[in-house]
Amino acid sequence: MALAENELSFQEKVDQDIRIEPKDWMPDAYRKTLIRQISQHAHSEIVGMLPEANWITRAPSLKRKATLIAKVQDEAGHGLYLYSAAETMGISREEMVDQLLSGKAKYSSIFNYPTITWADMGAIGWLVDGAAIMNQVPLCRASYGPYARAMVRICKEESFHQRQGFEILLVLSKGSEAQRRMCQDAIDRWWWPSVMMFGPNDEASPHTAQSMRWKIKRFTNDELRQRFIDVCAEQVKLLGMRLPDDLLKWNEERQHYDFGPIDWEELRQVISGNGPCNKERLAARVQAHADGAWVREAAMAHAGKRAQRAAPDQYKVA
């Protein structure tokens, strides 16, 4: 089939919501864009373990500690589901890990902020995971089958992450004056970075139209951001706390909350490597990978030996 014909029948399938599977023909740009999108998402899950791992040893109770370990383990799992989906498009795990460790690949800029109090565990669950869910639920219907299926698994597990986070804040909000202050402080610090998680404004997002045509994006950045703000503006009332935006106000006409200007310069700085923790996060990943090298090697050597021992005599190397 000619290229134009292939492209046409590909787009027809996408338009009819017929999923694209690994061995199906797909445009090069679709493959490239998805590899980037899926691997960036995977990297975000992996790097996303670090800010929370910081609090595992200092969780205030055994219950909180067990919960946090389970959540971080889920994030490792989510990273692996996504790497697995990306691998079906022909990129190797090794290549993706190299891209992350060399700093060539991006991950969500939210994980370059520090987690300085216990309340940050609550704010991350409520706001960061809340924003992630807003982004991810529509991706369960993404046009690429392995990606959509990975997202279904992830979304099922993500709900626990958000709920445990809100519960942490709820408990703090009913606590002592110091606990309430800590709760508000965490919300103040995590609110705007969470709002920025949806990416640049639609006018500044040149690839949105193509991604929506390919159905690897179902709503625009601004649509999802508005939805997130509308939900959080109500939820924060249950905590008796406030979102740090003086211009946040219900707009009866739009049936949405209006909100204040976003500091895009901050996002630009964090994305280009100048966030508070960019260097620390990457260094932690590089270190973990290097520290694990002997384990990976030993496992291969052990597997080789066992295979040789189990092989029938005639295949044995003397």
Binding site for another protein (CB under 8 A): 21, 23-25, 70, 73-74, 77, 80-81, 84-85, 87-88, 92-94, 146, 149-150, 157, 293, 296-297, 299-300, 302-303, 306-307
Structure tokens given for 236: 């924060």
The nearer residue to another protein, 2 or 247, going by C-beta atoms, is 2
The nearer residue to another protein, 279 or 305, going by C-beta atoms, is 305
Q: Are 182 and 119 in contact (CB under 8 A)?
A: yes
Least Å distance between CB 24 and another protein?
5
- The three-class DSSP label of residue 256 is strand
Q: Are 211 and 217 in contact (CB under 8 A)?
A: yes
Least Å distance between CB 62 and another protein?
19
Least Å distance between CB 80 and another protein?
5
Least Å distance between CB 26 and another protein?
11
The nearer residue to another protein, 24 or 234, going by C-beta atoms, is 24
Residue 184 pairs with which residues in a beta bridge? Answer: none
Give the Cα separation of 114 and 55 in Å (integer).
Answer: 11
Place of tokens 């199906």: 24
Least Å distance between CB 226 and another protein?
32
Give the Cα separation of 53 and 215 in Å (integer).
Answer: 34
Give the Cα separation of 83 and 67 in Å (integer).
Answer: 24
The nearer residue to another protein, 92 or 251, going by C-beta atoms, is 92
Structure tokens given for 54: 């910081």
Angle at the Cα of 154 from the Cα atoms of 182 and 220, rounded to 5 degrees: 80
Q: What is the DSSP string of 77-103?
A: HHHHHHHHHHHTTT--HHHHHHHHHTT
Least Å distance between CB 21 and another protein?
7
Q: Which of 222, 223, 226 is closest to 251 using CA atoms?
A: 226
The nearer residue to another protein, 39 or 109, going by C-beta atoms, is 39
The nearer residue to another protein, 26 or 182, going by C-beta atoms, is 26
Least Å distance between CB 158 and another protein?
13
The nearer residue to another protein, 48 or 275, going by C-beta atoms, is 48
Q: Are 122 and 165 in contact (CB under 8 A)?
A: yes
